[in-house]
Structures are given as C-alpha cells and as structure tokens.
Amino acid sequence: MVAMSAAELKVVPREGGFGAEVTGIDLRRSLPGNVVEPLEEAFARHGVLWFPDQPLDHDQLEAFTLNFGEFGEDPYVAPLAARPHILEVRREPDETASPFGAAWHSDWSFQATPPKATILHAKVVPPTGGDTLYADGVAAYEALSPAFRAMIASLRALHSAGRPYGEAGFYAKEEGRKGMTILPSANADQVWPHPLVRTQQRTGARALFVNPIYTIGIEGFTSEESIALLGYLYRHMTQDRFVYRHQWAPNMLTMWDNRRLLHNATGGYDGCLRLMHRTTVAGEVPI
C-alpha cells in the first residue's frame, strides 16, 4: 500500500476562511505525521473541517481521533457498549424529544479542561433537515470595538452543566427521547470559571468563550449584570455574518474546534432516522 503524503491533501476553505473541505486522503488508513501536521494547521486556521466520503468503522474512527490528542471525557451521556469513547447521536423517526444539542453551545465547556475538538461521523442522514450551525468566536471577537474588547479582556465566565444535566435539569424532566440515554447527575452542578476571552494556543488569536447552555454568569457580576452582558454577546456571536450552515452527507466526517466556536444542531427531519457517531479530543486549560 502506497503511503499518503501531504502533497495529496487538498484543503478548500469557504469564502471568508471559516470552515474548509478536506479531500485527497483516506481516513481508514493510518495518517503519517506529514499529513497530521497540515491537518492541525488547517484546523487551527479554519475551525471546522469536513471530509466527504469517508466510510469508517469504530476502530478507524477512534484511530483518526487519536491523531489529534487523547480522548476527551464525555459525561452525562451513555456511550456505545464496549466503546467508552464513542457516543451514538441517534434520533429515531418517531421521537418527540428535541434533537440532541439543539441550542447554541460549546461542547463540555463546564469541564476544567474542555475538549479541543469534537469529531462527528455521519452514518444515516435524513433527506431533509439536520444541518449543524457553527458560529465563529474569533471573528465575533475581532468585530467588537477596541473599547469593548478592553472592557471584557480580564473577565471570567462561570460554566456549569447543571441546567441541562443536573438532577433538576432539562434532560431529567424531558419526555420522548428514545435514541440516546442521558445520565443526569448531581455532579453537573459544579461550576468552573474560564476566561471570557480565550487565547487560541496555536495561532494566538482571541475568541469569545461563552455559550447560552453552559455559561451561567460572570465572576463578580450580579445576575442581572451577567444576563445583560452575556445576552448581548450571544446575539452578537450568532449573527449571520459569523455563522456557517453545514449540510451533512452519509459517511461525511466533520471536526470542529470547541475552543473558538459555538454550534447548534437543527431539526426539520421528524419521521426520519438520523444517526451519527461522535468522539472528542481532550483539550487544555483555557487561557
């Protein structure tokens, strides 16, 4: 078998550079260092990478994930049997619960070391709906005025999984979910502070690092003050000019950078099965 090389890799960015399609490689095969390094560079530059036409089994998905770091921890959701690092994101045709992840968020930002990347591999894609929206926290930060950036530079946001995953959280109360097993826990009420503006490790770029699901306040602010400032930032971050709508196809693998962007799983496919397999890559303490 002929080894892959960086020369075969083709990265085609979207207009504006947020998000890029990657072709020219076979993710079923072991990736040499001279391919992984330009992929890391493309990931840091574009935030979202998608790889069309990549049929993968569980071993191949896990092997691809480990090119970018150790597995991250995925709490509060039951993984596949005998595959503790793979979550099956499944919604049955007759399911009445909302799609998993159907609100703007950054995966597991409530952890002490939130994940670097989420990797999602499409198995069954409905004929309509099911797009994923991505919002670029770097572009949103850079669009703020210098005075506003200076005002928020040293703030720390408080993150917790309590609202969705606590014993009194959303998932503990919902009905109609069939395709996934959610595991509410008292541990979800723990709170972790992180910089509101996060520095990207590889590029040095700054990004807004808050999200409506897991960010519960700003350190030192009253509840009313937090709601006012965070509400403004959420509206700002999710303007159309910062958002990319991603359309899936069977066997497409997509990976995104939780350190710089928000994402939102859309619906619109009631009556159809949607099935994805997901892994996460461990991250670092935000700075």
Q: What is the pLDDT of residues 142-183, one digit of tens each?
A: 999 999 999 999 999 999 999 999 999 999 999 999 999 999
CB environment 259-271: b (16+ within 10 A), e (fewer)? bbbbbbbeeebee
With 70 as the cut, is the pLDDT of residue 2 above it? no
The domain of 35 spans 6-281
pLDDT at site 5: 65
Assigned domain for 286 exists = no
With 60 as the cut, is the pLDDT of residue 284 above it? yes
The residues near 206 (Cβ < 8 Å, ≥ 6 apart) are: 138, 141, 142, 149, 197, 198, 199, 200
Sequence letter at residue 53 = D
Assigned domain for 62 exists = yes
What span, in angstroms and rounded, lies between the C-alpha atoms of 177 and 233?
31
> For residue 25, what pLDDT band results from cuts at 50, 70 and 90?
very high
pTM (2 decimals)?
0.96
Mean pLDDT to the nearest integer, 70-95: 98
Assigned domain for 40 exists = yes
Q: What are φ and ψ of residue 260, in 5° steps?
A: -130, -10
With 90 as the cut, is the pLDDT of residue 6 above it? no
The CATH number of the domain where 175 resides is what? 3.60.130.10
What span, in angstroms and rounded, lies between the C-alpha atoms of 223 and 117?
31
Query: What radius of gyration do the chain's Cα atoms show?
Result: 19
> For residue 227, what pLDDT band results from cuts at 50, 70 and 90?
very high
Assigned domain for 119 exists = yes
pLDDT at site 1: 37
List strand residue ranges (DSSP E) for the chain, in order. 10-13, 20-23, 48-51, 87-91, 117-124, 132-136, 156-160, 191-195, 197-199, 206-208, 215-218, 243-246, 253-257, 261-265, 274-281
Assigned domain for 178 exists = yes
Assigned domain for 287 exists = no
Give the catalytic positions in this structure.
105, 107, 263, 278
The closest alpha carbon to 13, from 104, 102, 136, belongs to 136
pLDDT at site 117: 98
What span, in angstroms and rounded, lies between the C-alpha atoms of 115 and 109?
8
Domain count of the fold of the chain: 1
What span, in angstroms and rounded, lies between the C-alpha atoms of 92 and 95?
5
What span, in angstroms and rounded, lies between the C-alpha atoms of 169 and 277?
25
Q: What are φ and ψ of residue 20, in 5° steps?
A: -155, 145
